[in-house]
Amino acid sequence: MPQDPRLIIVGSIGIDHIETPTEKRTNLLGGSASYACAAASFYSQPGMVGVVGDDFPQEFLELYDSFHVDRTGLQTQSGRTFTWSGVYEENMDNRSTLETVLGVFEHFEPTLPKSYCKAPFVFLGNMHPALQAHVLDQVENPDFVLVDTMDLWINITREDLLSVIGRVTMLTLNESEARLLTDCHHLSDAANALLNMGPEYVLIKKGENGSILFGKNGVYIQPAYPLCPVQDPTGAGDTFAGALMGALTEAGSASDSDIRQAMVEGSVVASFGVEAFSLERLQTLSRQDVTDRVAELRSMMAVEI
């Protein structure tokens, strides 16, 4: 019998239509839960919490199974699956949204299966803070909760977001979002203001420049693995977060050193993910590939005196 998931991942599941400067692809599997679960699966069997419509392709469900994702928490409702269409600029960083169709995700209410409620590790992907709070109300004393957010929620649901931030272990967001939420220009000031909101750690994502971890014991700077060219950056942040949470789940603890090691793992898995569209590169990836690149990245980070 499969064990109850020790890591649950809650987020969007969607179908993406993506155009980059070199290629245009349609009907790709996307969504924060998809990327995060696939990345986490290299370390632990994650439990997925999300919703899809009755138009969701069977092949995508089989893809989740190939990553050994527990789908007990995946709901199927009558209607259209969340769909996103976007175009990336030449720098593969800036992008424009052409269309967003919420579909069944608009009225999604994340109800956890009983087997998920005691999971010690929880990742709340980018979604309305009220839904994130609804999940937190259902889990029973988790050891580590990571929450992601975006400028939309900062602008329209600030109070709800602040309430959620005060209940989690780690908050992750990008530079502009950190400044928007705190009205602080310097990242160190913004991070201190965010820490005062309640989380033990703040993880600021810097895209191709890596990430910075702020906590009571200091600051840790994690570089990204250098890549050229990037094929599709969609879901890179969720891939990073999923691998980080998977690594912590595998370790079974979340000390400062565990988190720093997990950030290295997250950086590496995310670097693989952007080498192809959707989950295509992760489908061909092995744990040994990850281990080898982790060693390579560590050698790049080493300082010899």
The string of pLDDT tens digits covering residues 64-81 is 999 999 999 999 999 999
CATH code, 7-173+230-295: 3.40.1190.20
Q: What is the pLDDT of residue 1?
A: 44
Domain edges within the chain: 7-173+230-295
Closest C-alpha among 297, 146, 282 to residue 224: 297
* DSSP-H helix ranges across 148-255: 151-156, 158-165, 175-182, 187-195, 236-251
Please give the Cα distance from 165 to 273 (Å, whole number). Answer: 28
Which band of pLDDT confidence, cut at 50, 70 and 90, is reported for residue 94? confident
pLDDT tens string 173-212: 999 999 999 999 999 999 999 999 999 999 999 988 999 9
Rg of the chain on CA atoms, in Å: 18
- Residue 125: both structure tokens together: 């992907």
For 77-146, the DSSP string reads: ESSPPPEEEEEE-TTSS-EEEEEEE-GGGGG---PPPGGGTT-SEEEE-SS-HHHHHHHHTTS-S-SEEE
pLDDT tens string 218-260: 999 999 999 878 999 999 999 999 999 999 999 999 999 999 9
Q: What is the pTM of this model?
A: 0.96
Which band of pLDDT confidence, cut at 50, 70 and 90, is reported for residue 95? confident
CA distances from 129 to 150, 160, 163, 238, 241 (A): 10, 6, 8, 17, 18
Q: What is the pLDDT of residue 110?
A: 94
Which band of pLDDT confidence, cut at 50, 70 and 90, is reported for residue 33? very high
- Is 13 a residue whose pLDDT tops 70? yes
pLDDT tens string 40-59: 999 999 999 999 999 999 99
Percent with pLDDT over 70 in the chain: 99
76, with CB counted inside 10 A (0-12, 13-18, 19+), is: middle
128 close to 74: Cβ distance less than 8 angstroms: no
246 close to 41: Cβ distance less than 8 angstroms: yes
Please give the Cα distance from 104 to 53 (Å, whole number). Answer: 6
Residues counted in the chain = 305
110, with CB counted inside 10 A (0-12, 13-18, 19+), is: buried
- Is 286 a residue whose pLDDT tops 50? yes
Q: What is the pLDDT of residue 278?
A: 97
Give the pLDDT mean for 258-266: 98
Which band of pLDDT confidence, cut at 50, 70 and 90, is reported for residue 170? very high
